[in-house]
Amino acid sequence: MSIPTPEEALAAFDLTDPAVVRDPYPLLAGLRAAGKPVHHEGLGLWLAARHRDADAVLRNRRLGRIFTAREPADVWDTFNWLHADSILDSEPPKHTRLKSLVAKAFARGHVERLRPRVQELAAGLLDAVDPGGFDAISDYAEPLPVMVVGELLGVPLEEQAPLRPWSQAIVKMYEYERTTAQEVAAREACAEFSAFVLELAARRRVHPGEDLVTHLVQVEDAGERLTEHELVATCVLLLNAGHEASVNGFGNGLVALLHRPEEWARLVAAPYALAPTAVEEMLRYDCPLQLFERTATEDVEVGGATVRQGEKIAALLGSANRDEEVFERADEFDVGRDPNPHLAFGAGIHFCLGAPLARLELQISLPLLVERFPSLHLSGMPELRPTFVLRGYESIAVSN
């Protein structure tokens, strides 16, 4: 597909259009060609498509992550506080306090202690698949991060089954087109998940362990502690954000790899040596999170566009990661790309707290797959989710 003009790209930028969801990158290139953020009347927000502008959106302190509670309040109560009391949807000074407490709990070596367990879980999942044909999503990429986050939080394996359905239901609320049934499912998932974490936290107060929930219950900084709502919101965010980034980053990158036999062959020749750069390229090339909104708390200039107080501007992360001014051969997939300053995990104060864990999972699970199945190939058309903001595959049929 040829690159449209900025005007054509803006007119065609419909996030519910299956053609846009299938391949947004030509339109994103057209938006970048405008040379500055552009305003989309239908979405009611500015679009920052260039790397420098998206980065500025993420870092500018006059652009806040402002959560607007849903109405009616009694119906959306749990959903609202799960967001209002999370790190992702808070701004300083609340964000500073929450991040300090959560980072202090994380600092107890939780990510690194999981390394041998991630290796064990990933290997176990690969032991169970049929090399003659399996689904790289449902059989591998999807269950692994749920198991890992379960280990991180201290959720017993026999209690982990609802975590994935809860996450799937809640994250559908981040798309621009939802059904009433999806909204009902999201509210129910919020209520069930929050009750589950509250009960788990109560157990850890009586019987502490070496898991993150125990340390979130115990953590204190300058006399400050997490409230019950903040603790629950943190756990829900870790599952939702960590799970989506890992599953979609792996799936999107795997499809890109398997469409490029020469890059797959490079990885087969040196799976562990190339894993760090290959993982970063998987995250850059087909970004699992395409759009992240901010709201102007006062008039602010971004890349030559003036965003008025109260207006929203979105960092188009997938577009930023294909910016020709930053990435040489930006539309090519290179397992050895270095440097790779992508924005898949965000930037600034809202840089993803779970990024080290997601990287650990991917840097272990990718070379294990490549080593085990060096002749892996697609055995059917990958099934893409019909969503733009959280971009990923429902199913990737493969065989060795």
Phi-psi region of 109 (alpha: psi -120 to 50; beta: other; left: phi over 0): left
Residues belonging to the chain:
400
SS3 state of residue 312: strand
Residue 208 carries which DSSP code? Answer: -
| Residue 361 bears catalytic tag | yes
Strand partners, 390: 289
Structural contact between residues 24 and 51, judged by C-beta atoms closer than 8 angstroms? no
Task: Choose, from 244, 263, 280, 281, the residue flagged as catalytic.
Answer: 244
Task: Choose, from 54, 136, 361, 365, the residue flagged as catalytic.
Answer: 361
Distance separating alpha carbons of residues 237 and 216, to the nearest angstrom:
14
Structure-token pair, residue 350: 């809202």
Distance separating alpha carbons of residues 36 and 353, to the nearest angstrom:
29
CA distances from residue 149 to 212, 256, 292 in whole angstroms, order as listed = 10, 26, 23
Torsions phi, psi of 107, nearest 5? -65, -5
Helix (H) or strand (E) holding 393: strand 393-395
Torsions phi, psi of 168, nearest 5? -60, -40
Instruction: Tally Cβ neighbours within 10 Å of residue 28.
Output: 24
Task: Choose, from 29, 185, 352, 358, the residue flagged as catalytic.
Answer: 352
Structure-token pair, residue 237: 């965010």
| Residue 241 bears catalytic tag | yes
Task: Choose, from 169, 241, 315, 347, the residue flagged as catalytic.
Answer: 241
Angle at the Cα of 329 from the Cα atoms of 328 and 333, rounded to 5 degrees: 115
| Residue 325 bears catalytic tag | no
Place of tokens 């219950």: 217
Structural contact between residues 189 and 166, judged by C-beta atoms closer than 8 angstroms? yes
Helix (H) or strand (E) holding 293: strand 291-296
Task: Choose, from 246, 280, 305, 320, the residue flagged as catalytic.
Answer: 246
Active site residues: 241, 244, 246, 352, 361
